[in-house]
Amino acid sequence: MGKPTGFLEYQRVNNPASDPKERIRSFNEFHPALDPQQRRQQGARCMNCGVPFCQSAMKLGGSVSGCPLHNLIPEWNDEIFNGNWDHALARLLKTNNFPEFTGRVCPALCEAACTCGMNGDPITVRENELAIIESGYERAVIRPRPPAVRTDKRVAVIGSGPAGLAVADQLNRRGHQVTVYEKEDRPGGLLMYGIPNMKLDKTIVERRIRLMEAEGVRFITNTEAGVDVSAEELQKSYDAIVLCVGAGKPRDLALPGRDAEGVYFAVDYLKCATKALLDHIPAAINAKGKRVVVVGGGDTGNDCVGTALRQGCKSLIQLEMMPRPPLERRADNPWPQWPRVLKTDYGQQEAAAVFGKDPRIFETTVTELIKDEKGRLKGIKTVRLQGEPQKDGRMKMVPLPGSEKQIGCDLLLIAAGFLGPEEKIPSAFCLKTDPRSNIAADPAYCAGKKIFAAGDCRRGQSMVVWAIAEGRAAAKEVDRFLMGYTNMI
Protein backbone atom coordinates (compact mmCIF):
# COMPACT_ATOMS: atom_id res chain seq x y z
CA MET A 1 0.00 0.00 0.00
CA GLY A 2 1.90 3.01 -1.30
CA LYS A 3 -0.05 5.75 0.48
CA PRO A 4 -1.63 4.46 3.72
CA THR A 5 -3.19 7.84 4.50
CA GLY A 6 -4.32 8.65 0.95
CA PHE A 7 -8.01 8.17 1.68
CA LEU A 8 -7.67 10.75 4.48
CA GLU A 9 -5.60 13.29 2.56
CA TYR A 10 -7.32 13.39 -0.82
CA GLN A 11 -10.92 14.00 -1.79
CA ARG A 12 -12.68 12.24 -4.65
CA VAL A 13 -12.29 14.15 -7.91
CA ASN A 14 -14.21 12.96 -10.98
CA ASN A 15 -13.26 13.54 -14.58
CA PRO A 16 -14.74 16.94 -15.47
CA ALA A 17 -17.79 17.20 -17.73
CA SER A 18 -18.42 19.77 -20.44
CA ASP A 19 -21.24 22.26 -19.92
CA PRO A 20 -24.57 20.52 -20.77
CA LYS A 21 -25.70 23.24 -23.20
CA GLU A 22 -22.37 23.02 -25.03
CA ARG A 23 -22.01 19.25 -25.22
CA ILE A 24 -25.47 18.65 -26.71
CA ARG A 25 -24.27 20.42 -29.86
CA SER A 26 -22.46 17.24 -30.88
CA PHE A 27 -22.36 13.49 -30.26
CA ASN A 28 -18.79 13.65 -28.95
CA GLU A 29 -17.66 12.26 -25.61
CA PHE A 30 -17.54 15.02 -23.01
CA HIS A 31 -15.43 13.83 -20.06
CA PRO A 32 -11.78 14.95 -20.46
CA ALA A 33 -9.29 13.04 -18.32
CA LEU A 34 -7.59 14.28 -15.17
CA ASP A 35 -3.90 15.16 -15.35
CA PRO A 36 -1.44 12.41 -14.24
CA GLN A 37 -0.82 13.90 -10.79
CA GLN A 38 -4.52 14.12 -10.01
CA ARG A 39 -4.98 10.54 -11.20
CA ARG A 40 -2.17 9.36 -8.91
CA GLN A 41 -3.96 11.00 -5.99
CA GLN A 42 -7.18 9.23 -6.90
CA GLY A 43 -5.29 5.94 -6.95
CA ALA A 44 -3.80 6.81 -3.56
CA ARG A 45 -7.30 7.06 -2.05
CA CYS A 46 -7.68 3.26 -2.30
CA MET A 47 -7.48 1.74 1.19
CA ASN A 48 -6.21 -1.68 0.01
CA CYS A 49 -8.83 -3.27 2.28
CA GLY A 50 -8.19 -6.59 3.94
CA VAL A 51 -11.53 -7.67 2.44
CA PRO A 52 -11.91 -5.79 -0.87
CA PHE A 53 -15.69 -5.74 -1.30
CA CYS A 54 -15.16 -3.83 -4.57
CA GLN A 55 -14.14 -7.03 -6.38
CA SER A 56 -16.61 -9.38 -4.73
CA ALA A 57 -19.84 -9.31 -6.82
CA MET A 58 -21.91 -10.28 -3.80
CA LYS A 59 -25.69 -10.40 -3.95
CA LEU A 60 -26.96 -8.30 -1.09
CA GLY A 61 -30.47 -6.99 -0.60
CA GLY A 62 -31.59 -8.37 -3.96
CA SER A 63 -28.87 -6.63 -6.00
CA VAL A 64 -25.23 -7.33 -6.82
CA SER A 65 -22.58 -5.12 -5.26
CA GLY A 66 -18.96 -5.40 -6.36
CA CYS A 67 -17.37 -6.21 -9.72
CA PRO A 68 -18.67 -9.29 -11.62
CA LEU A 69 -15.25 -9.58 -13.28
CA HIS A 70 -13.54 -9.63 -9.87
CA ASN A 71 -11.11 -6.98 -11.07
CA LEU A 72 -7.96 -6.70 -8.93
CA ILE A 73 -8.85 -3.15 -8.01
CA PRO A 74 -6.62 -2.46 -4.97
CA GLU A 75 -3.62 -3.83 -6.87
CA TRP A 76 -3.89 -1.55 -9.88
CA ASN A 77 -4.90 1.45 -7.80
CA ASP A 78 -1.63 1.06 -5.91
CA GLU A 79 0.29 0.78 -9.19
CA ILE A 80 -1.33 4.02 -10.39
CA PHE A 81 -0.15 5.84 -7.27
CA ASN A 82 3.39 4.48 -7.73
CA GLY A 83 3.43 5.40 -11.43
CA ASN A 84 3.79 1.79 -12.56
CA TRP A 85 1.39 2.01 -15.49
CA ASP A 86 2.60 -1.16 -17.20
CA HIS A 87 2.07 -3.20 -14.03
CA ALA A 88 -1.33 -1.59 -13.53
CA LEU A 89 -2.29 -2.53 -17.09
CA ALA A 90 -1.12 -6.13 -16.65
CA ARG A 91 -3.24 -6.55 -13.52
CA LEU A 92 -6.26 -4.92 -15.15
CA LEU A 93 -6.14 -7.07 -18.30
CA LYS A 94 -5.81 -10.22 -16.21
CA THR A 95 -9.56 -10.09 -15.48
CA ASN A 96 -11.07 -7.64 -17.99
CA ASN A 97 -10.74 -7.98 -21.77
CA PHE A 98 -12.21 -4.56 -22.55
CA PRO A 99 -11.59 -1.91 -19.86
CA GLU A 100 -12.08 0.80 -22.49
CA PHE A 101 -15.76 -0.21 -22.61
CA THR A 102 -16.45 -0.77 -18.92
CA GLY A 103 -14.46 2.34 -18.04
CA ARG A 104 -16.99 4.36 -20.01
CA VAL A 105 -20.37 2.68 -19.61
CA CYS A 106 -20.30 0.47 -16.50
CA PRO A 107 -22.53 1.65 -13.61
CA ALA A 108 -19.57 0.86 -11.35
CA LEU A 109 -20.85 -1.86 -9.04
CA CYS A 110 -17.32 -1.79 -7.64
CA GLU A 111 -17.72 1.75 -6.36
CA ALA A 112 -20.99 0.90 -4.66
CA ALA A 113 -19.07 -1.64 -2.56
CA CYS A 114 -15.97 0.50 -1.94
CA THR A 115 -15.12 0.71 1.76
CA CYS A 116 -14.42 4.43 1.42
CA GLY A 117 -18.07 4.82 0.47
CA MET A 118 -19.17 3.63 3.91
CA ASN A 119 -18.36 7.00 5.48
CA GLY A 120 -17.64 9.21 2.48
CA ASP A 121 -17.03 9.13 -1.26
CA PRO A 122 -15.87 5.88 -2.89
CA ILE A 123 -12.73 5.59 -5.00
CA THR A 124 -12.98 6.66 -8.67
CA VAL A 125 -12.52 3.01 -9.66
CA ARG A 126 -14.14 3.22 -13.08
CA GLU A 127 -12.20 6.32 -14.13
CA ASN A 128 -8.94 4.87 -12.80
CA GLU A 129 -9.60 1.78 -14.91
CA LEU A 130 -10.21 3.92 -17.99
CA ALA A 131 -7.02 5.89 -17.36
CA ILE A 132 -4.98 2.68 -17.24
CA ILE A 133 -6.25 1.23 -20.53
CA GLU A 134 -6.09 4.52 -22.41
CA SER A 135 -2.53 5.03 -21.19
CA GLY A 136 -1.74 1.61 -22.63
CA TYR A 137 -3.09 2.61 -26.02
CA GLU A 138 -1.36 6.01 -25.98
CA ARG A 139 2.00 4.43 -25.17
CA ALA A 140 1.49 1.68 -27.78
CA VAL A 141 1.74 -0.98 -25.09
CA ILE A 142 -1.57 -2.33 -26.38
CA ARG A 143 -0.65 -3.98 -29.66
CA PRO A 144 -1.57 -7.17 -31.54
CA ARG A 145 -0.36 -10.34 -29.87
CA PRO A 146 -1.57 -13.29 -31.96
CA PRO A 147 -1.18 -16.69 -30.30
CA ALA A 148 2.14 -18.40 -30.89
CA VAL A 149 0.49 -21.81 -31.38
CA ARG A 150 -2.80 -22.60 -33.11
CA THR A 151 -5.05 -25.59 -32.51
CA ASP A 152 -7.09 -27.18 -35.27
CA LYS A 153 -10.37 -26.33 -33.53
CA ARG A 154 -12.83 -23.99 -35.23
CA VAL A 155 -15.34 -21.94 -33.24
CA ALA A 156 -18.24 -19.81 -34.48
CA VAL A 157 -19.41 -16.98 -32.24
CA ILE A 158 -22.86 -15.67 -33.13
CA GLY A 159 -23.15 -12.03 -32.13
CA SER A 160 -20.42 -9.46 -31.60
CA GLY A 161 -21.65 -7.63 -28.52
CA PRO A 162 -19.55 -7.60 -25.32
CA ALA A 163 -20.24 -11.27 -24.54
CA GLY A 164 -19.41 -12.40 -28.09
CA LEU A 165 -16.25 -10.30 -28.20
CA ALA A 166 -15.11 -11.69 -24.85
CA VAL A 167 -15.68 -15.28 -25.98
CA ALA A 168 -13.85 -14.62 -29.24
CA ASP A 169 -10.93 -12.86 -27.55
CA GLN A 170 -10.43 -15.58 -24.97
CA LEU A 171 -10.68 -18.51 -27.37
CA ASN A 172 -8.47 -16.82 -29.95
CA ARG A 173 -5.77 -16.22 -27.34
CA ARG A 174 -6.00 -19.91 -26.48
CA GLY A 175 -5.14 -20.66 -30.10
CA HIS A 176 -8.50 -21.72 -31.50
CA GLN A 177 -9.65 -20.41 -34.87
CA VAL A 178 -12.54 -18.04 -34.17
CA THR A 179 -15.09 -16.57 -36.59
CA VAL A 180 -17.64 -14.03 -35.35
CA TYR A 181 -20.93 -13.61 -37.22
CA GLU A 182 -22.77 -10.29 -36.90
CA LYS A 183 -26.12 -9.52 -38.54
CA GLU A 184 -25.49 -5.75 -38.62
CA ASP A 185 -23.14 -3.94 -40.99
CA ARG A 186 -20.57 -3.28 -38.25
CA PRO A 187 -19.26 -5.47 -35.42
CA GLY A 188 -19.89 -4.47 -31.83
CA GLY A 189 -23.50 -5.35 -31.10
CA LEU A 190 -24.99 -3.05 -28.49
CA LEU A 191 -21.57 -1.44 -28.04
CA MET A 192 -21.89 -0.16 -31.61
CA TYR A 193 -25.61 0.47 -32.04
CA GLY A 194 -27.17 0.30 -28.57
CA ILE A 195 -25.04 2.86 -26.72
CA PRO A 196 -24.89 6.44 -28.07
CA ASN A 197 -21.63 7.86 -29.39
CA MET A 198 -21.33 10.52 -26.65
CA LYS A 199 -21.26 7.72 -24.08
CA LEU A 200 -19.02 5.33 -26.03
CA ASP A 201 -17.32 6.78 -29.09
CA LYS A 202 -17.52 4.28 -31.93
CA THR A 203 -13.85 4.78 -32.80
CA ILE A 204 -13.14 3.07 -29.46
CA VAL A 205 -15.16 0.02 -30.51
CA GLU A 206 -13.56 0.00 -33.96
CA ARG A 207 -10.09 0.25 -32.39
CA ARG A 208 -10.70 -2.95 -30.41
CA ILE A 209 -12.18 -4.77 -33.42
CA ARG A 210 -9.10 -3.92 -35.51
CA LEU A 211 -6.87 -5.21 -32.73
CA MET A 212 -8.77 -8.49 -32.55
CA GLU A 213 -8.62 -8.87 -36.32
CA ALA A 214 -4.87 -8.34 -36.22
CA GLU A 215 -4.68 -11.11 -33.62
CA GLY A 216 -6.54 -13.53 -35.87
CA VAL A 217 -10.24 -13.20 -35.13
CA ARG A 218 -12.38 -13.18 -38.27
CA PHE A 219 -15.51 -11.01 -38.39
CA ILE A 220 -18.31 -11.63 -40.90
CA THR A 221 -20.94 -8.88 -40.96
CA ASN A 222 -24.35 -8.54 -42.63
CA THR A 223 -24.87 -12.23 -41.91
CA GLU A 224 -27.66 -13.47 -39.66
CA ALA A 225 -27.34 -16.95 -38.23
CA GLY A 226 -30.32 -19.10 -39.09
CA VAL A 227 -31.18 -16.86 -42.04
CA ASP A 228 -28.15 -16.00 -44.19
CA VAL A 229 -26.23 -19.00 -42.93
CA SER A 230 -28.18 -22.01 -41.68
CA ALA A 231 -27.80 -23.64 -38.30
CA GLU A 232 -27.01 -26.91 -40.09
CA GLU A 233 -24.19 -25.32 -42.07
CA LEU A 234 -22.68 -23.80 -38.94
CA GLN A 235 -22.87 -27.08 -37.06
CA LYS A 236 -21.18 -28.86 -39.94
CA SER A 237 -18.40 -26.28 -40.33
CA TYR A 238 -17.42 -25.66 -36.70
CA ASP A 239 -16.36 -27.71 -33.70
CA ALA A 240 -18.30 -25.45 -31.34
CA ILE A 241 -20.87 -22.67 -31.66
CA VAL A 242 -21.37 -19.96 -29.04
CA LEU A 243 -24.60 -17.97 -29.15
CA CYS A 244 -24.14 -14.42 -27.85
CA VAL A 245 -27.12 -12.81 -29.55
CA GLY A 246 -28.25 -10.61 -26.69
CA ALA A 247 -31.79 -10.00 -25.47
CA GLY A 248 -32.98 -7.93 -28.39
CA LYS A 249 -36.73 -8.46 -28.12
CA PRO A 250 -38.08 -5.19 -26.69
CA ARG A 251 -41.01 -5.05 -24.27
CA ASP A 252 -43.96 -3.40 -26.05
CA LEU A 253 -46.88 -1.28 -24.87
CA ALA A 254 -50.22 -2.98 -25.53
CA LEU A 255 -52.27 0.22 -25.68
CA PRO A 256 -55.08 1.72 -27.75
CA GLY A 257 -53.49 3.67 -30.61
CA ARG A 258 -50.24 1.67 -30.56
CA ASP A 259 -50.25 1.64 -34.38
CA ALA A 260 -49.83 5.43 -34.53
CA GLU A 261 -47.06 6.79 -36.72
CA GLY A 262 -44.35 8.19 -34.47
CA VAL A 263 -43.99 5.33 -31.95
CA TYR A 264 -40.65 3.51 -31.85
CA PHE A 265 -38.68 1.17 -29.66
CA ALA A 266 -35.69 2.82 -27.99
CA VAL A 267 -33.27 0.28 -29.48
CA ASP A 268 -34.39 1.16 -33.03
CA TYR A 269 -34.19 4.88 -32.33
CA LEU A 270 -30.68 4.70 -30.86
CA LYS A 271 -29.44 2.46 -33.66
CA CYS A 272 -30.86 4.84 -36.26
CA ALA A 273 -29.17 7.85 -34.63
CA THR A 274 -25.78 6.12 -34.54
CA LYS A 275 -26.01 4.87 -38.13
CA ALA A 276 -26.88 8.38 -39.28
CA LEU A 277 -23.83 9.73 -37.44
CA LEU A 278 -21.43 7.10 -38.78
CA ASP A 279 -22.74 7.07 -42.34
CA HIS A 280 -23.20 10.86 -42.53
CA ILE A 281 -26.83 10.58 -43.54
CA PRO A 282 -30.07 12.09 -42.15
CA ALA A 283 -31.59 10.09 -39.30
CA ALA A 284 -34.70 8.21 -40.41
CA ILE A 285 -36.12 8.66 -36.89
CA ASN A 286 -35.44 12.23 -35.85
CA ALA A 287 -36.57 14.18 -32.78
CA LYS A 288 -35.83 17.57 -34.29
CA GLY A 289 -38.63 20.02 -33.51
CA LYS A 290 -40.80 17.32 -31.93
CA ARG A 291 -42.48 16.86 -28.56
CA VAL A 292 -40.76 13.74 -27.27
CA VAL A 293 -41.93 11.36 -24.56
CA VAL A 294 -39.66 8.55 -23.36
CA VAL A 295 -41.43 5.69 -21.58
CA GLY A 296 -39.08 3.99 -19.15
CA GLY A 297 -36.11 4.90 -17.02
CA GLY A 298 -32.77 3.19 -16.76
CA ASP A 299 -29.75 3.68 -18.97
CA THR A 300 -31.65 3.16 -22.22
CA GLY A 301 -34.28 5.76 -21.36
CA ASN A 302 -31.58 8.22 -20.38
CA ASP A 303 -29.71 7.57 -23.63
CA CYS A 304 -32.90 8.38 -25.54
CA VAL A 305 -33.17 11.64 -23.63
CA GLY A 306 -29.59 12.61 -24.46
CA THR A 307 -30.01 11.68 -28.12
CA ALA A 308 -33.30 13.58 -28.54
CA LEU A 309 -31.69 16.69 -27.08
CA ARG A 310 -28.81 16.49 -29.54
CA GLN A 311 -31.25 16.16 -32.40
CA GLY A 312 -33.04 19.32 -31.27
CA CYS A 313 -36.34 18.19 -29.78
CA LYS A 314 -38.96 20.81 -28.95
CA SER A 315 -39.85 19.37 -25.53
CA LEU A 316 -39.01 16.26 -23.59
CA ILE A 317 -40.69 14.17 -20.89
CA GLN A 318 -39.54 10.87 -19.39
CA LEU A 319 -42.12 8.69 -17.66
CA GLU A 320 -41.19 6.24 -14.92
CA MET A 321 -43.64 3.87 -13.25
CA MET A 322 -41.87 3.58 -9.91
CA PRO A 323 -41.71 6.21 -7.15
CA ARG A 324 -38.86 8.72 -7.06
CA PRO A 325 -35.98 7.13 -5.12
CA PRO A 326 -34.61 8.89 -2.03
CA LEU A 327 -31.62 11.23 -2.29
CA GLU A 328 -29.73 9.30 0.39
CA ARG A 329 -29.62 5.67 1.53
CA ARG A 330 -32.42 4.52 3.76
CA ALA A 331 -31.74 2.53 6.91
CA ASP A 332 -32.82 -0.69 5.18
CA ASN A 333 -30.29 -0.13 2.35
CA PRO A 334 -26.91 -0.02 4.14
CA TRP A 335 -23.42 -0.22 2.65
CA PRO A 336 -22.19 -2.36 0.90
CA GLN A 337 -25.54 -2.97 -0.79
CA TRP A 338 -26.18 -1.29 -4.13
CA PRO A 339 -27.44 2.20 -3.19
CA ARG A 340 -31.11 2.55 -4.12
CA VAL A 341 -30.96 6.33 -4.41
CA LEU A 342 -31.93 8.87 -7.06
CA LYS A 343 -29.49 8.89 -9.95
CA THR A 344 -29.55 11.89 -12.25
CA ASP A 345 -27.65 10.82 -15.35
CA TYR A 346 -26.11 12.90 -18.11
CA GLY A 347 -29.28 13.04 -20.24
CA GLN A 348 -31.45 14.23 -17.39
CA GLN A 349 -28.83 16.82 -16.44
CA GLU A 350 -28.83 18.10 -20.02
CA ALA A 351 -32.64 18.21 -20.19
CA ALA A 352 -32.74 20.20 -16.96
CA ALA A 353 -30.22 22.67 -18.39
CA VAL A 354 -32.19 23.10 -21.63
CA PHE A 355 -35.78 23.07 -20.33
CA GLY A 356 -35.24 24.21 -16.76
CA LYS A 357 -36.37 21.04 -14.97
CA ASP A 358 -35.76 17.34 -14.58
CA PRO A 359 -37.61 15.61 -17.46
CA ARG A 360 -38.73 12.68 -15.30
CA ILE A 361 -42.28 12.21 -14.06
CA PHE A 362 -42.39 9.38 -11.56
CA GLU A 363 -45.30 7.08 -10.66
CA THR A 364 -46.86 7.65 -14.07
CA THR A 365 -47.67 5.45 -17.04
CA VAL A 366 -49.30 5.74 -20.48
CA THR A 367 -52.85 4.48 -20.96
CA GLU A 368 -53.60 5.50 -24.57
CA LEU A 369 -51.94 6.96 -27.67
CA ILE A 370 -53.85 9.65 -29.54
CA LYS A 371 -53.69 9.86 -33.35
CA ASP A 372 -54.63 12.64 -35.73
CA GLU A 373 -56.80 12.10 -38.81
CA LYS A 374 -53.78 10.82 -40.77
CA GLY A 375 -52.81 8.25 -38.14
CA ARG A 376 -49.89 10.26 -36.77
CA LEU A 377 -49.21 10.47 -33.06
CA LYS A 378 -50.30 13.77 -31.57
CA GLY A 379 -50.62 13.04 -27.87
CA ILE A 380 -50.80 10.51 -25.07
CA LYS A 381 -53.03 9.91 -22.07
CA THR A 382 -51.36 9.17 -18.77
CA VAL A 383 -52.40 8.18 -15.27
CA ARG A 384 -50.67 8.49 -11.95
CA LEU A 385 -49.80 5.32 -10.05
CA GLN A 386 -49.69 4.49 -6.38
CA GLY A 387 -48.23 1.58 -4.46
CA GLU A 388 -50.60 -1.09 -3.21
CA PRO A 389 -49.18 -3.69 -0.77
CA GLN A 390 -49.65 -7.32 -1.81
CA LYS A 391 -50.04 -10.42 0.35
CA ASP A 392 -46.50 -11.55 -0.53
CA GLY A 393 -45.07 -8.28 0.79
CA ARG A 394 -44.37 -6.75 -2.61
CA MET A 395 -45.72 -3.41 -3.73
CA LYS A 396 -47.87 -3.27 -6.87
CA MET A 397 -48.28 0.01 -8.75
CA VAL A 398 -51.97 0.63 -9.52
CA PRO A 399 -53.77 3.58 -11.21
CA LEU A 400 -54.84 6.50 -9.01
CA PRO A 401 -58.48 7.37 -9.85
CA GLY A 402 -59.00 10.90 -11.14
CA SER A 403 -55.34 11.44 -12.06
CA GLU A 404 -55.74 11.04 -15.83
CA LYS A 405 -53.95 13.61 -17.97
CA GLN A 406 -53.32 14.32 -21.66
CA ILE A 407 -49.90 15.34 -22.98
CA GLY A 408 -48.95 16.52 -26.46
CA CYS A 409 -46.50 14.14 -28.13
CA ASP A 410 -45.15 13.69 -31.67
CA LEU A 411 -42.51 11.05 -30.92
CA LEU A 412 -42.91 8.29 -28.35
CA LEU A 413 -39.87 6.15 -27.50
CA ILE A 414 -40.45 2.88 -25.67
CA ALA A 415 -37.58 2.09 -23.30
CA ALA A 416 -39.38 -0.49 -21.17
CA GLY A 417 -36.70 -3.18 -21.21
CA PHE A 418 -36.27 -6.44 -23.10
CA LEU A 419 -37.92 -9.85 -22.97
CA GLY A 420 -35.08 -12.06 -24.20
CA PRO A 421 -33.55 -13.10 -27.54
CA GLU A 422 -35.58 -13.14 -30.72
CA GLU A 423 -37.38 -16.49 -31.13
CA LYS A 424 -35.72 -17.28 -34.47
CA ILE A 425 -32.34 -18.07 -32.86
CA PRO A 426 -33.39 -20.83 -30.41
CA SER A 427 -35.83 -22.06 -33.04
CA ALA A 428 -33.15 -22.33 -35.73
CA PHE A 429 -30.87 -24.35 -33.44
CA CYS A 430 -33.74 -26.35 -31.86
CA LEU A 431 -32.89 -25.13 -28.37
CA LYS A 432 -34.97 -24.97 -25.21
CA THR A 433 -35.77 -21.68 -23.50
CA ASP A 434 -36.43 -20.94 -19.84
CA PRO A 435 -39.62 -19.36 -18.42
CA ARG A 436 -38.21 -15.90 -19.19
CA SER A 437 -37.69 -16.89 -22.87
CA ASN A 438 -33.89 -16.90 -22.53
CA ILE A 439 -31.84 -19.71 -24.03
CA ALA A 440 -31.63 -22.52 -21.47
CA ALA A 441 -28.06 -23.61 -20.74
CA ASP A 442 -26.52 -25.80 -18.05
CA PRO A 443 -23.91 -24.55 -15.54
CA ALA A 444 -21.24 -25.17 -18.20
CA TYR A 445 -23.08 -22.77 -20.56
CA CYS A 446 -23.96 -25.70 -22.85
CA ALA A 447 -27.33 -25.30 -24.59
CA GLY A 448 -27.18 -28.24 -27.01
CA LYS A 449 -24.86 -30.54 -28.86
CA LYS A 450 -21.64 -28.48 -29.20
CA ILE A 451 -23.74 -25.31 -28.80
CA PHE A 452 -23.13 -22.86 -25.97
CA ALA A 453 -24.85 -19.64 -24.91
CA ALA A 454 -23.58 -16.62 -22.99
CA GLY A 455 -24.52 -13.05 -22.17
CA ASP A 456 -27.97 -11.51 -22.21
CA CYS A 457 -29.47 -14.29 -24.33
CA ARG A 458 -28.73 -16.69 -21.45
CA ARG A 459 -29.08 -14.56 -18.29
CA GLY A 460 -31.50 -11.90 -19.52
CA GLN A 461 -31.04 -8.18 -20.05
CA SER A 462 -28.06 -7.00 -18.06
CA MET A 463 -24.92 -4.86 -18.15
CA VAL A 464 -21.78 -4.83 -20.29
CA VAL A 465 -19.64 -5.96 -17.37
CA TRP A 466 -21.86 -9.02 -16.82
CA ALA A 467 -21.73 -9.81 -20.53
CA ILE A 468 -17.92 -9.80 -20.48
CA ALA A 469 -17.92 -11.99 -17.37
CA GLU A 470 -20.32 -14.42 -19.05
CA GLY A 471 -18.22 -14.49 -22.19
CA ARG A 472 -15.05 -15.29 -20.27
CA ALA A 473 -16.73 -18.05 -18.28
CA ALA A 474 -18.34 -19.56 -21.37
CA ALA A 475 -15.04 -19.49 -23.27
CA LYS A 476 -13.45 -21.54 -20.51
CA GLU A 477 -16.15 -24.20 -20.83
CA VAL A 478 -15.90 -24.23 -24.64
CA ASP A 479 -12.15 -24.76 -24.33
CA ARG A 480 -12.71 -27.63 -21.90
CA PHE A 481 -15.18 -29.17 -24.36
CA LEU A 482 -12.77 -28.84 -27.28
CA MET A 483 -9.57 -29.92 -25.56
CA GLY A 484 -10.75 -32.19 -22.73
CA TYR A 485 -9.23 -29.79 -20.22
CA THR A 486 -8.64 -26.04 -19.91
CA ASN A 487 -5.81 -23.86 -18.61
CA MET A 488 -7.81 -20.67 -19.05
CA ILE A 489 -8.46 -18.47 -16.00
Give the C-alpha separation, 304 to 292, whole Å.
10
Residue 89 pLDDT: 98
Pair (294, 182) in one structural domain: no
- Domain assignment present for residue 24? The answer is yes
Give the C-alpha separation, 3 to 91, whole Å.
19
Pair (390, 272) in one structural domain: yes
Residue 1 pLDDT: 64
- Residue 322: other Cβ atoms inside 10 A: 13
Q: Of 138, 133, 139, 154, give the one whose Cα is nearest residue 216.
A: 154
Q: Which of 76, 109, 138 represents a domain boundary (last residue)? A: 138
CATH code of residue 389: 3.50.50.60
Phi and psi torsions of 360, nearest 5°: -80, 135
For 205, the enclosing helix (H) or strand (E) is: helix 202-214
Residue 393 pLDDT: 81
Q: Which of 414, 437, 465 represents a domain boundary (last residue)? A: 414
Domain hosting 33: range is 6-138
Three-state DSSP at 20 gives helix
Residue 439 pLDDT: 97
Give the C-alpha separation, 53 to 475, whole Å.
26
Cross-strand partners of 379:
370, 408
Residue 203 pLDDT: 98
Pair (347, 433) in one structural domain: no
Residue 61 pLDDT: 86
- Domain assignment present for residue 185? The answer is yes
Name the DSSP letter for residue 129: H
Q: What is the mean pLDDT of each run of 10 residues along the chain (489 residues)?
A: 87 97 98 96 92 92 93 96 97 98 97 93 97 97 96 98 98 98 97 98 98 98 96 97 95 96 98 98 97 95 98 98 94 93 97 98 97 97 94 89 96 94 93 94 96 97 96 98 95
